[in-house]
Amino acid sequence: MNDMLEGMLETALYAEDLDTAEAFYEGILGLAKISRSGDRHVFFRCGAGVLLIFNPKETIKPPAPGSLQVPPHGTTGSGHACFRVSRENLDAMASRLKSEGVAIESEVTWPQGGRSIYFRDPAGNSLECAEARIWGIE
């Protein structure tokens, strides 16, 4: 086991329409926006970590001279992220999503315990809300 890695600090997803992504993650999921940089990215606080939403058409460009030297990156196609949700809040989250017109694609009760719900963001990314015990975490 690697005792130097403390956990995930940030997770990145990609969406070409940042206005729609911002409205979804802030308005529907209720995440607090940290910052937005034009049409390049929008960042959100998510528990102890950060969710980064990047426009893949912008992040593949090399950094401008004098800017932060973050290397070009990105992906194509839909990604996946899972939000940790307590057992007590999982049904409430499903109800909130449904009331906002977000379809629940699947509800899974895992053999080792815990449940998950799956849905999509407007960019087509697969999102999951799950109890941590699906991974044996209490």
Residue written as token pair 């910052």: 35
Q: How far apart are CA 34 and CA 43, in angstroms?
A: 5
Of 7, 16, 6, give the one whose Cα is nearest residue 124: 16
Q: How far apart are CA 25 and CA 21, in angstroms?
A: 6
pLDDT 10s digits, 75-106: 888 999 999 999 999 999 999 999 999 999 99
CATH 3.10.180.10 assigned to domain 10-64+76-135? The reply is: yes
Residue written as token pair 């899974």: 108
Model confidence, pTM: 0.92
Per DSSP, the three-state class of 53 is strand
* Angle of CA points 129, 54, 101, to nearest 5°: 40
pLDDT at 4: 84
